Amino acid sequence: MKNPFNFKLLTFNSKYGATVFRLGIFVVLAAVIVLMFPRYNNAFRYHFEVGKPWGYSALTADFDFPIYKTEEQMSKEQQQLLSTFAPFFKYVPRVQREVKVISLENMEWLQAEGYSRITVNQNKYPLSEIYTPKSAYKRFGYDCALNLVLDTVRTEEMKGKLLASVSPTMGLVQKGEKIIDRGEIVTERNYQILTSFRRAYDDESLGNKQRTLSILGETILVLLFLCLFVIYLYVFRIQYLRSTSTVLFFALQMFIVIGLACLALRFNLTVYLIPFAWVPILTRVFFDSRTALFLHFTTILITSIVVPAPVEFFFIQIVVGQVAVSSLSDMTRRAQLVQTAAWILLVQTVAYTAITFAQTGAWSAIDPWMYLYFFICALLTVGCYGLIYAFEKMFRFISSITLVELTDINSELLHTLAERAPGTFQHSMQVSNLAAEAAKTIGANALLVRTGALYHDIGKMTDPLYYVENQTGVENPLLKMDPRDAAQVVIAHVTEGEKIARRNHLPEVVVNFITTHHGTTLVRYFYNTFVNAHPKEKVDEALFRYPGPKPTTKEAAILMMADAIEARSRSLDDFTEESISKAVNQMIDAQIADGQFAETPLSFKDVEDIRRVFISRLVAMNHHRISYPTLNE
């Protein structure tokens, strides 16, 4: 099944075009982020909360503005006025004029609304003088017809006028008047004045220019932060910047998390419900800690532009990112994600409490709801596990979790290899141990190279008896063939292995180990045999060379060395440290001389460390054992 999200299909006619496209991704991301930002209070960019210190310089009024009442104050004043209001009723002439009778429905409505009197012909009467047909009969002993009818139109009209008479303001702040000073605690009164100031900025006649400048400032800041991230990639991780799928992965992460934060702000929810730890966790799982932290810092810097209390938010999220990366150095088990979420919950709680105390010095400033938000955020952090799987499929990345699953020797493919080609399976196990140890020594990905080693020879399952490690008591059929044909049979295990790997949907990085573990080396045994048999004939080396490609990573180079050396060690007659050292050095020197590692980032020191590990491991694997004495009869 083809991957519908295979971004590797994106190709360009030139290197310049690919570079422009990848940089364009960041430009588009910046534009989308600015469009996602909540558009309220664009001109008034201050963030404040009751009980928290004012974190900006002294603020003075730029113009005269009224102090608006809060909704609670307005509601209270309106209720007080309505308590004196008397709904209007029309008089319908009846015989019993002295008895004022209304319907039971009208009476229940008046009582439910809290009215204590009604208005009839400009006169007001208490409800105690108003009857329903039933209460009038009880009071006077005879039936009384309705003679008062609710005047709905006039009642609503007069009620509206009464409510409109309540002023929405309660004072005036004059231009140049100081509103609040740096470090001053925001009280309820300060909060009301600041809210009124912000509301005044929302007036179209005042806000158009500021609104435009605000959006411009946001755009410049977002582009600046993204540019810094691109510069980091260019200087320290150029290989990531050269990969379209990797750039898209980084951009998509920022889009998702910042988009969720903006959505929360639009619905007046706290941003602390958003699991910003997703960014460092996902990046660390597929890449490295340094990039994970830098991308996380970029994301929270951009988000800080629009969140309330940005300084507090930034400090808390910085700690979250550091803990996420530190506690998830190499994710190989699902339980590690739960542990990371628990650590994030703990540090968020401690950081928030400490910052609040540092700013206010009062227990009362602590918002207990924040701890609930942190707990929910921690639960959402665990949900990152599903995103790991989704991004693996979407971008064809590979995580440590997947690598661990692939190294399970009870998996169907490896079990089949063990059954059909047991010698090859044992060889692959030995190679995986050698390669993993060498990878650890030079700081390469040991788990990755172990996985590649287990699958590198699966192509031999097709015709296992052609390979000496699977031949038990039978003559090698290749020796009866023309050396050129025999070489092609041996070479075929690489192409067959690639086919088997793709049929079984192995990750591309594992397939790469299969295709590169012999590079473009010669099938030396049959090449030498043919040359010796035809000393005067010009030999076409292409008939005896593997198709390649050559290794391009440290891990692929280590596997090539380990594969060749493990096979060579089996042909030794004498397993001494001297003979093993000679075999290891000869094999590696031959591969280097053949240019097989020219495209890898291996250093001379790396190669020397790998030699040393191979020698020590092979000596340990083939050490001499004492023979057990037998019992005398």
CATH code, domain with 572: 1.10.3210
With H, G, I as helix, E, B as strand and everything else as coil, classify residue 137: helix
Q: Which is more confidently placed, 11 or 63?
A: 63
Q: Under a CB-based contact definition with an 8 Å cutoff, are residues 93 and 125 in contact?
A: no
What's the token pair of residue 394? 């979407």
Contacts of 356 (CB under 8 A, 6+ apart): 365, 366
Give me the percent of the chain exceeding a pLDDT of 90.
42
Question: What average pLDDT does the segment 336-361 reach?
Answer: 89
Confidence of residue 383 (pLDDT cuts 50, 70, 90): confident
Contacts of 470 (CB under 8 A, 6+ apart): 421, 422, 423, 424, 460, 464
Confidence of residue 44 (pLDDT cuts 50, 70, 90): low
Question: What average pLDDT does the segment 407-418 reach?
Answer: 91
Nearest to 404 by CA among 430, 378, 381, 436: 436
Q: What is the pLDDT of residue 1?
A: 38
* Ranges 102-106, 208-212, 556-560: which has the least confidence: 208-212
Question: What average pLDDT does the segment 220-238 reach?
Answer: 95
Q: Which is more confidently placed, 572 or 488?
A: 488
With H, G, I as helix, E, B as strand and everything else as coil, classify residue 76: helix
Q: Are residues 353 and 429 in the same domain?
A: no
Question: What average pLDDT does the segment 349-353 reach?
Answer: 93
Is residue 416 assigned to a domain? yes
Q: What is the pLDDT of residue 434?
A: 94
Q: Are residues 410 and 387 in the same domain?
A: no
Give Cα 622 distance to the centre of its chain. Answer: 47
* Ranges 11-25, 242-256, 435-449, 505-519: which has the least confidence: 11-25
**What DSSP string runs through 266-277?**
HTT--GGGS-TT
Q: Are residues 365 and 407 in the same domain?
A: no
Q: Are residues 341 and 256 in the same domain?
A: yes
Q: Are residues 375 and 421 in the same domain?
A: no
Is residue 503 assigned to a domain? yes
Q: Which is more confidently placed, 332 or 268?
A: 268
Q: Are residues 433 and 556 in the same domain?
A: yes
Contacts of 396 (CB under 8 A, 6+ apart): 3, 6, 7, 8, 245, 507, 508
The answer, yes or no, to whether residue 7 has pLDDT greater than 70, is no
Q: Are residues 484 and 579 in the same domain?
A: yes
For 63-131, list the strands marked E by DSSP: 65-68, 88-91, 100-101, 117-120, 123-126, 130-131
Residue pointed to by tokens 């009467």: 125
Residue 60 DSSP class = E
Q: Please state whether 148 falls in left (phi above 0), alpha (psi between -120 and 50) or beta.
A: beta
What's the token pair of residue 38? 């909540």
Is residue 289 assigned to a domain? yes
Question: Which of 146, 164, 182 is where one domain is finished?
Answer: 164
Residue 443 DSSP class = T
Q: Cα–Cα distance between 560 and 519 in angstroms, integer?
A: 8
Count of structural domains, the chain: 3
Q: Cα–Cα distance between 32 and 26 in angstroms, integer?
A: 10
Nearest to 347 by CA among 294, 287, 272: 272
CB atoms within 10 A of CB 615: 19
Q: Are residues 370 and 417 in the same domain?
A: no
Q: Are residues 408 and 384 in the same domain?
A: no
The answer, yes or no, to whether residue 204 has pLDDT greater than 60, is no
With H, G, I as helix, E, B as strand and everything else as coil, classify residue 494: helix
Is residue 633 assigned to a domain? no
Question: Which of 339, 374, 395 is where one domain is finished?
Answer: 395
Element (H, E) at 179: strand 178-180
Q: What is the pLDDT of residue 597?
A: 94
CB atoms within 10 A of CB 317: 27
Q: What is the pLDDT of residue 25?
A: 93
Is residue 453 assigned to a domain? yes
Q: Are residues 210 and 301 in the same domain?
A: yes
Is residue 59 assigned to a domain? no
Q: Cα–Cα distance between 255 and 233 in angstroms, integer?
A: 18
The answer, yes or no, to whether residue 14 has pLDDT greater than 50, is yes
Query: CB pairs under 8 A, 24+ apart, for 80-86?
Result: 81/162, 81/163, 81/165, 81/166, 82/114, 82/159, 82/162, 82/163, 83/114, 83/116, 85/115, 85/158, 85/159, 85/162, 86/115, 86/116, 86/117, 86/118, 86/119, 86/124
Q: Are residues 372 and 333 in the same domain?
A: yes
Q: Encode pLDDT of 575-627 as tens digits.
A: 788 888 999 999 999 999 999 999 999 999 999 999 999 999 988 877 655 55
Is residue 173 assigned to a domain? no
End-to-end, the C-alpha distance of the chain in Å comes to 68
Confidence of residue 164 (pLDDT cuts 50, 70, 90): confident
Q: What is the pLDDT of residue 210?
A: 66
Confidence of residue 330 (pLDDT cuts 50, 70, 90): low
Confidence of residue 6 (pLDDT cuts 50, 70, 90): very low
Q: Are residues 128 and 236 in the same domain?
A: no
With H, G, I as helix, E, B as strand and everything else as coil, classify residue 134: helix
Is residue 513 assigned to a domain? yes
Domain ranges, residue 136 = 73-164
Give me the percent of the chain exceeding a pLDDT of 70.
91
Q: Cα–Cα distance between 422 and 428 in angstroms, integer?
A: 10
Which ranges in 204-277 belong to alpha helices (H)? 204-236, 238-241, 244-266
What's the token pair of residue 580? 């093993």
The answer, yes or no, to whether residue 566 has pLDDT greater than 50, is yes
Burial 149-166 (b: 16+ CB within 10 A, else e): ebbeeebeebeeeeeeee
Question: Which of 355, 373, 395 is where one domain is finished?
Answer: 395
Q: Encode pLDDT of 257-301 as tens digits.
A: 999 999 998 887 889 999 999 999 999 988 889 999 999 999 999
Q: Cα–Cα distance between 324 and 317 in angstroms, integer?
A: 10
Q: Under a CB-based contact definition with an 8 Å cutoff, are residues 426 and 398 in contact?
A: no
Question: What average pLDDT does the segment 97-121 reach?
Answer: 86
Instruction: Output the average pLDDT for the chain.
Output: 86
Q: Which of the listed ranges 8-12, 313-317, 406-410 does the model predict with the highest average pLDDT?
A: 313-317
